[in-house]
């Protein structure tokens, strides 16, 4: 019997994943990672919910403390990004280092060949590419392949995503309800897990040396238009809360950290035809040797855009067919060929 270690948050997705894996003939062990005290995905209630589900369906459950590692790989990166005027996506770091890094090492220790999570994504062997691939799920807007681009490609054949073929969360809740799981109607966690109240600015002020530091708001010509309350309080594309009266709406275009300036401009200035990404991770090929037609997502919630990409050493240049709005350094650009994740990287500029 194939052994699998399932990451469980106490939510309905991972709980139903446990049911499905058992039905598919896996020997399932559930585990919950302790990552940050008081977070939305690892607090006393999540441990209890996960353990109760495991007890109900007859599988073992363990809790592992990885708070130090989470701080090192996820929280410190989150703080460092904002300190350098970038906008991070901590879920991507957590997936790379925690769920598909440390948890996989724990799985091997426990004699498990596979790991599983409740992500909406798929893995399968592709005859065309002669390797295991990461693919979009059938869940449309709920597909989570975007946040998985940074996982080690050698790991793909050892990952199971039980929810990959489902089209809606309603289907998952119905399975949970049909099996009398108490978590069937548990609400989704939408915020950054270690900032349950959603106030990332307060979190930065309380957990780092980042504090309000007034500076100038300028246009692209360097003309002073107003004052800001600290660079970390603003995001690219932001329109509201600038405190500037202007004949046409102004948006945040970027930052000059050396001068402690927020740069603003008109909406037309927000669009970019070409961007550069670094820290690349290619899952489908080992190297991109010529211009390649792909679709690209630059945010989890954004639509895919047609583009061409080319690799230059450790960077990838993206040339969009149509200019894209509010490209944000620190976010991830993820490349797709049809429904397969080619890879991705961190946006530099």
Contacts of 91 (CB under 8 A, 6+ apart): 147, 192
For residue 212, give the nearest of 156, 276, 154, 262 by alpha carbon.
262
Rounded Cα–Cα distance for residues 230 and 291 (Å): 40
Contacts of 317 (CB under 8 A, 6+ apart): 274, 275, 276, 309, 310
DSSP state of 187: P
For residue 252, give the nearest of 237, 266, 270, 240 by alpha carbon.
237
**In this structure, are residues 320 and 188 in contact, taking their beta carbons and an 8 Å threshold?**
no
Rounded Cα–Cα distance for residues 205 and 84 (Å): 15
Give the CA distances from residue 176 to residues 13, 42, 228, in Å, rounded to whole numbers and listed in that order. 9, 21, 48
For residue 341, give the nearest of 141, 155, 162, 121 by alpha carbon.
121
| Residue 16: strand, helix, or coil | helix
Angle between helices 12-23 and 169-178 (to 10 degrees): 70
- Provide the token pair at 70: 């989470």
Rounded Cα–Cα distance for residues 228 and 218 (Å): 10
Query: Among all residues, which ones are annotated catalytic?
Result: 94, 193
Rounded Cα–Cα distance for residues 164 and 167 (Å): 8
Question: What spatial distance separates the first Cα and last Cα of the chain, rounded to whole Å?
Answer: 48
Q: What are phi and psi of 206, to 5 degrees?
A: -85, -20
What residues form DSSP beta bridges with 234? none
Angle between helices 76-83 and 200-207 (to 10 degrees): 100
For residue 257, give the nearest of 213, 202, 207, 203 by alpha carbon.
213
């Amino acid at each position: 019997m194939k052994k699998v270690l399932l990451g469980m948050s106490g939510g309905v997705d991972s709980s139903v994943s446990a049911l499905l894996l058992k039905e598919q003939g896996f020997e399932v062990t559930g585990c919950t990672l302790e990552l940050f005290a008081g977070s939305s995905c690892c607090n006393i209630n999540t441990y209890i919910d996960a353990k109760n589900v495991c007890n109900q369906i007859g599988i073992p459950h363990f809790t592992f403390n990885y708070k130090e590692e989470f701080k090192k790989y996820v929280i410190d990166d989150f703080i460092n990004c904002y300190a350098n005027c970038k906008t991070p996506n901590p879920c991507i770091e957590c997936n790379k280092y925690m769920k598909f890094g440390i948890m996989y090492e724990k799985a091997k220790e426990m004699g498990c060949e596979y790991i599983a999570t409740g992500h909406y994504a798929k893995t399968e062997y592709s005859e065309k590419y002669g390797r295991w691939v990461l693919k979009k799920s059938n869940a449309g807007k709920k597909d989570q392949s975007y946040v998985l681009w940074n996982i080690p490609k050698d790991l793909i054949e050892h990952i199971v995503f039980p929810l990959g073929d489902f089209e809606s969360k309603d289907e998952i809740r119905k399975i949970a309800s049909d099996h009398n799981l108490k978590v069937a109607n548990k609400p989704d966690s939408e915020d950054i897990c270690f900032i349950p109240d959603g106030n990332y600015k307060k979190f930065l002020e309380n957990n780092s040396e980042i504090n309000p530091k007034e500076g100038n708001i300028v246009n692209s010509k360097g003309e002073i238009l107003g004052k800001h309350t600290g660079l970390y309080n603003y995001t690219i594309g932001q329109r509201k809360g600038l405190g500037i009266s202007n004949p046409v709406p102004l948006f945040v275009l970027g930052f000059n950290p050396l001068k402690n300036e927020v740069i603003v401009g008109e909406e037309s200035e927000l669009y970019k035809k070409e961007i550069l990404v670094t820290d690349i991770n290619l899952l489908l090929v080992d190297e991109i040797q010529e211009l390649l037609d792909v679709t690209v997502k630059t945010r989890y919630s954004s639509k895919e855009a047609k583009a061409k990409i080319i690799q230059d050493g450790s960077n990838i240049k993206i040339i969009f067919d149509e200019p894209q709005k509010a490209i944000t350094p620190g976010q991830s650009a993820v490349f797709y060929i049809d429904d397969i994740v080619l890879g991705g990287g961190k946006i530099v500029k």
